[in-house]
């Protein structure tokens, strides 16, 4: 079994010092290590944003795709080769703004993919604008008088859309986040994981101290049953979404792959050796 450090390549992340994304990266590495996923079987797909840089820092296969479009790429990969452990990383802007339509429909399709959203409540890569998750009154370059839009209740939205696995984590809670990601990987279907991650540069409101004060672990909620969808929705509403842990898990639900006639052998394994002439002829056919 490879140790967690071996899932990191030699490229130094260029996130800001203190960024919560470092914690999420380490949690993904540790989860992959504990699940003993071979490097060549781990496929990490990301969109655009600070969070989506992560694909360049891990020792595995990956694709850095277009803004908001990571999930369509990932679904194609999974359908072509279901032997791969497909993990998708997006930010709250990537997932819940330009990519919202894809997020909802990926939940509906229920392919066996783990979707991890780095939720810092702000657009960081473009230097600090309001995101769909920004709090009311949040002052940014695009909302100099304060944000007047209610932030999206994303985990409630995922439940309402029919997600079979819904969880929330916190970047600083390594142990809890590793457990959530492993359970998401183990789940046979689409796993929706929203992770609170402080942006130390552009979000001076939702800080590490703020999250420490406001977040509650679902393990501390008496008699909580993650099989109870109505209870999950009620709890999210009561705590204004500030709850971590596995909130809902639907057992024995078939995935998209189970319901369609997919060849057992990955399509990638069926491709014959391509020589230069074959490739040239193929390209010529599209000119």
The model's pLDDT over 142-156, given as tens digits with 9 standing for 90+, comes to 999 999 999 999 999
Mean pLDDT (the chain, rounded): 95
What percentage of the chain exceeds 90 in pLDDT? Answer: 89
Cβ within 8 Å of residue 162, ≥6 positions away: 107, 108, 110
Q: What's the whole-number mean pLDDT along residues 251-275?
A: 80
Question: According to DSSP H, which parts of the chain are helical?
Answer: 21-34, 70-80, 92-96, 100-109, 154-160, 174-186, 208-214, 229-238, 256-259, 267-270, 276-284
Q: Which whole number is the average pLDDT over 65-93?
A: 96
User: Residues 115-139: what's their mean pLDDT?
Assistant: 96
163 token code pair: 């997600």
Percent of the chain scoring above 70 in pLDDT: 98
State the pLDDT at residue 261. 76
The vertex-208 CA angle with 205 and 209, nearest 5°, equals 80
Q: How far apart are CA 82 and CA 121, in angstroms?
A: 33
For the beta sheet containing 61-64, the strands, ordered from the edge strand earlier in sequence to the opposite edge, are 61-64, 42-46, 85-91, 114-119, 191-196, 165-170, 243-249, 216-217
- The structure's pTM equals 0.92
Please check the confidence at residue 126 and state whether its pLDDT lies above 80. Answer: yes
- Of 239, 255, 213, give the one whose Cα is nearest residue 114: 255
The yes-or-no verdict on residue 268 having pLDDT over 90 is no
Distances (CA, A) of 264 to 190, 257, 270: 20, 10, 11
Condensed to tens digits (0 to 9), the pLDDT of residues 204-244 reads 999 999 999 999 999 999 999 999 999 999 999 999 999 99
User: So what's the pLDDT on residue 271?
Assistant: 65
The number of residues making up the chain comes to 287
pLDDT of residue 265: 73
Q: Which fold has domain 4-262?
A: Rossmann fold (3.40.50)
Q: Where are the domains of the chain?
A: 4-262
**Confidence bin at 279 (pLDDT 50/70/90):** confident
pLDDT at 38: 96
Q: In angstroms, rounded to a whole number, what is the distance separating the alpha carbons of residues 76 and 105?
A: 14
């Amino acid at each position: 079994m490879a140790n967690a450090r071996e899932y990191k390549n030699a490229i130094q992340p260029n996130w800001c010092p203190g960024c919560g994304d470092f914690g999420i990266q380490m949690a993904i590495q540790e989860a992959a290590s504990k699940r003993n996923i071979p490097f060549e079987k781990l496929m990490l797909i990301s969109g655009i944003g600070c969070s989506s840089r992560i694909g360049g820092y891990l020792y595995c296969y990956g694709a850095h795709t277009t803004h908001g479009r990571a999930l369509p790429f990932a679904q194609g990969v999974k359908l072509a080769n279901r032997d791969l452990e497909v993990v998708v990383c997006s930010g709250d802007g990537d997932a819940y703004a330009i990519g919202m339509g894809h997020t909802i429909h990926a939940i509906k399709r229920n392919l066996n993919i783990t979707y991890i959203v780095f939720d810092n409540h702000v657009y960081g890569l473009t230097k600090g604008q309001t995101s769909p998750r920004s709090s009311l009154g949040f002052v940014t370059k695009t909302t100099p008088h304060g944000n007047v839009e209610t932030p999206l209740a994303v985990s409630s939205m995922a439940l309402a859309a029919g997600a079979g696995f819904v969880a929330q984590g916190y970047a600083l809670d390594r142990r809890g986040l590793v457990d959530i990601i492993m359970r998401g990987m183990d789940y046979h279907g689409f796993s929706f994981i929203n992770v609170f991650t402080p942006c130390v540069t552009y979000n001076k409101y939702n800080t590490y101290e703020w999250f420490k004060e406001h977040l509650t672990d679902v393990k501390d909620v008496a008699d909580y049953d993650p099989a109870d969808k109505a209870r999950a929705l009620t709890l999210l509403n009561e705590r204004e979404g500030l709850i971590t842990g596995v909130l809902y898990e639907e057992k024995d639900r078939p995935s998209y792959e189970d319901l369609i006639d997919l060849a057992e052998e990955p399509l990638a394994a069926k491709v014959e050796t391509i020589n230069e002439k074959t490739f040239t002829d193929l390209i010529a056919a599209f000119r």
